């Protein structure tokens, strides 16, 4: 999957990284964040075949903001500290608030 949702320069800017020492790691984490956000929206959406069809749309920018939130979490919390402060839960609450309008409501 080609990650166009979070380009490397945007990812580095968001993480406040100015050198190229960690470009591979940042790009990998950006790819992971974009894939997770795309899958999250696509799995809860039946109205459109593509989750973010237009890069100039508000939906694209909202999804990008959510992916940047997740990128920061993936980069800063490598999975060895989830039991202490549970940053994952707080990040996903923020992501859900951003993306909830893009998902179809569930029927009970």
Whole-angstrom distance, CA of residue 79 vs CA of residue 93? 18
Burial of 22 (0-12, 13-18, 19+ CB in 10 A): middle
pTM exceeds 0.85 for this model: no
With contact defined as beta carbons under 8 Å apart, do 49 and 18 qualify? no
Whole-angstrom distance, CA of residue 37 vs CA of residue 42? 8
Structural domain total, the chain: 1
Model pLDDT, residue 80: 63
* Confidence label for 70 from pLDDT (cuts 50, 70 and 90): very high
* Confidence label for 10 from pLDDT (cuts 50, 70 and 90): very high
Would the pLDDT of 108 be above 60? no
Whether 3 maps to a domain, the answer reads: no
Whether 74 maps to a domain, the answer reads: yes
Whether 2 maps to a domain, the answer reads: no
Whether 91 maps to a domain, the answer reads: yes
Model pLDDT, residue 87: 67
């Amino acid at each position: 999957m080609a990650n166009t949702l979070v380009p490397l320069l945007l990812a580095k800017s968001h993480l406040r990284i100015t050198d190229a020492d960690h470009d591979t790691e940042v790009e990998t984490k950006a790819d992971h964040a974009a894939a997770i956000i795309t899958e999250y929206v696509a799995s809860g959406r039946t109205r459109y075949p593509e989750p973010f069809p237009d890069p100039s749309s508000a939906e694209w920018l909202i999804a990008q903001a959510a992916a940047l939130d997740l990128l920061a979490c993936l980069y800063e919390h490598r999975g060895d500290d989830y039991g202490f402060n549970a940053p994952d839960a707080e990040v996903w609450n923020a992501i859900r608030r951003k993306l909830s309008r893009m998902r179809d409501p569930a029927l009970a």
